[in-house]
């Protein structure tokens, strides 16, 4: 059996940057074990399997796998799959087309708005299906520093301190003093599993205000060896949780606030994630994730 296979670079408008994604179409006959084998073979941060929707009014049902396990939700698979389905299924009218793609995921139904224009990379945006919430107490600054190969004084800046948040996936958020320190960060195997156990964390998200690009608000890195992802070039699900960090520490007034997060530079895969926070009466009401995606490979996979 040969199934259509597409790859895309997500959270970028240029090929060979951003976060690579594989999408396997017409995957209804595959078992979960087969999907995991394919994801392990492709060895990208995530591989998406597109199935018929359970609700005929929806675009598709998807399952998302890292090389090590299935996820209930992820940002770059949501953006990439939505732009791909819009390109494949939406007719072009006067050089442009807009689409609403509705994807059934384990976390729930996600609606994605997609904008396609001649000569431009497709852009997609969605409201997070779940708002971030604080869980657990973060490890101590000294233990975090040991696990990242940094000095304790390099953990934290301004009023930002380490936090643990979840919005379907759970991350430890580690503020780092600057770009020089964040570039030196690494997974210290001798300490990692005890500081960031896989039973608690999907990944560890480092961030600083120092940025490569003037239009960016934060520079980030994300390590997830527990998911089979040593480092991720762009992490939409972590950006959803990060909205809670920004809201809590930066004292945002009511209204809509857009922040661009740059990620992947240390990997040679520069990415840009658009994060919009909507606050009302001092509370975080909506988190919106947006980004571009561009197709790279169209082919088939034999299973």
Cα–Cα distance measured from residue 75 to residue 275, given in angstroms and rounded to the nearest whole number: 11
Share of the chain above pLDDT 90, in %: 96
Cα–Cα distance measured from residue 102 to residue 129, given in angstroms and rounded to the nearest whole number: 12
Residue 168: the pLDDT is 92
Expressed in angstroms, the distance from the first to the final Cα of the chain is 5
- Assess whether pLDDT exceeds 80 at residue 114: yes
Q: In 3D, which of 169, 181, 183, 209 has the Cα closest to residue 289? A: 169
Query: What architecture (CATH level 2) is domain 133-290?
Result: Roll (3.10)
Q: Within a 10 A sphere around the Cβ of 17, how many other Cβ atoms?
A: 22
Q: Within a 10 A sphere around the Cβ of 222, how many other Cβ atoms?
A: 24
Residue 97: the pLDDT is 86
Mean pLDDT, residues 75-103 taken together: 91
- Assess whether pLDDT exceeds 80 at residue 95: no
Mean pLDDT, residues 272-276 taken together: 98
- Residue 74's pLDDT band (cuts 50, 70, 90): very high
Q: What phi and psi, each to the nearest 5 degrees, are found at residue 109?
A: -85, 130
Q: What phi and psi, each to the nearest 5 degrees, are found at residue 237?
A: -65, -35
Residue 284 three-state SS: strand
Mean pLDDT, residues 154-172 taken together: 97
- Over the stretch 190-244, which tens digit does the pLDDT of each residue have? 999 999 999 999 999 999 999 999 999 999 999 999 999 999 999 999 999 999 9
Residue 236: the pLDDT is 97
- Assess whether pLDDT exceeds 90 at residue 68: yes
Residue 202: the pLDDT is 95
- Assess whether pLDDT exceeds 80 at residue 271: yes
Catalytic one among 41, 46, 104, 285?
46
Residue 101 structure tokens: 């793609």
Distance (Å) of CA 148 to CA 13, 118, 179 = 31, 44, 14
- Assess whether pLDDT exceeds 80 at residue 91: no
180 catalytically annotated: no
**Same CATH fold assignment for domains 2-128+292-302 and 133-290:** yes
- Over the stretch 6-44, which tens digit does the pLDDT of each residue have? 999 999 999 999 999 999 999 999 999 999 999 999 999
CATH 3.10.310.10 fits domain 2-128+292-302: yes
- Assess whether pLDDT exceeds 80 at residue 70: yes
- Assess whether pLDDT exceeds 80 at residue 67: yes
- Assess whether pLDDT exceeds 90 at residue 92: no
Domain range annotation of the chain: 2-128+292-302, 133-290
Residue 36: the pLDDT is 98
Mean pLDDT, residues 89-112 taken together: 90
Residue 96: the pLDDT is 77
Average per-residue pLDDT in the chain?
97
- Residue 94's pLDDT band (cuts 50, 70, 90): confident
Q: Are the beta carbons of 165 and 189 closer than 8 angstroms?
A: no
Mean pLDDT, residues 138-160 taken together: 98
- Assess whether pLDDT exceeds 90 at residue 76: yes
């Amino acid at each position: 059996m040969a199934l259509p296979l597409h790859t895309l670079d997500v959270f970028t408008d240029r090929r060979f940057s951003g976060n690579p994604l594989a999408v396997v179409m017409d995957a209804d006959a595959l078992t979960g074990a087969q999907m995991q084998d394919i994801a392990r073979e492709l060895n990208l941060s995530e591989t998406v399997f597109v199935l018929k929707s359970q609700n005929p009014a929806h675009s598709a049902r998807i399952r998302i796998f890292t090389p090590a396990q299935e996820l209930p939700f992820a940002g770059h698979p949501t953006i990439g799959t939505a732009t791909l389905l819009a390109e494949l299924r939406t007719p072009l009218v006067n050089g442009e087309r807009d689409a609403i793609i509705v994807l059934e995921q384990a976390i729930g139904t996600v609606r994605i708005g997609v904008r396609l224009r001649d000569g431009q990379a497709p852009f997609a945006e969605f409201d997070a299906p779940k708002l971030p919430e604080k869980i657990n107490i973060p490890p101590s600054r000294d233990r975090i520093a040991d696990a990242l190969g940094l000095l304790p004084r390099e953990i934290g800046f301004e009023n930002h301190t380490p936090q643990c948040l979840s919005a379907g996936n759970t991350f430890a958020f580690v503020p780092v003093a600057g770009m020089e320190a964040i570039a030196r960060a690494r997974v210290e195997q001798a300490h990692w599993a005890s500081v960031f156990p896989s039973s608690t964390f999907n990944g560890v998200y480092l961030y600083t205000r120092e940025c490569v690009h003037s239009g960016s608000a934060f520079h980030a890195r994300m390590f997830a060896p527990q998911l089979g992802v040593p480092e991720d070039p762009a992490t939409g699900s972590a950006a959803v949780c990060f909205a809670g960090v920004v809201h809590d520490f930066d004292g945002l007034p009511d209204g809509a606030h857009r922040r661009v997060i740059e990620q992947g530079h240390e990997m040679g895969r520069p990415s840009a994630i658009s994060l919009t926070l909507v606050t009302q009466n001092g509370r975080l009401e909506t988190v919106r994730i947006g980004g571009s995606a561009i197709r790279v490979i169209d082919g088939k996979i034999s299973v």
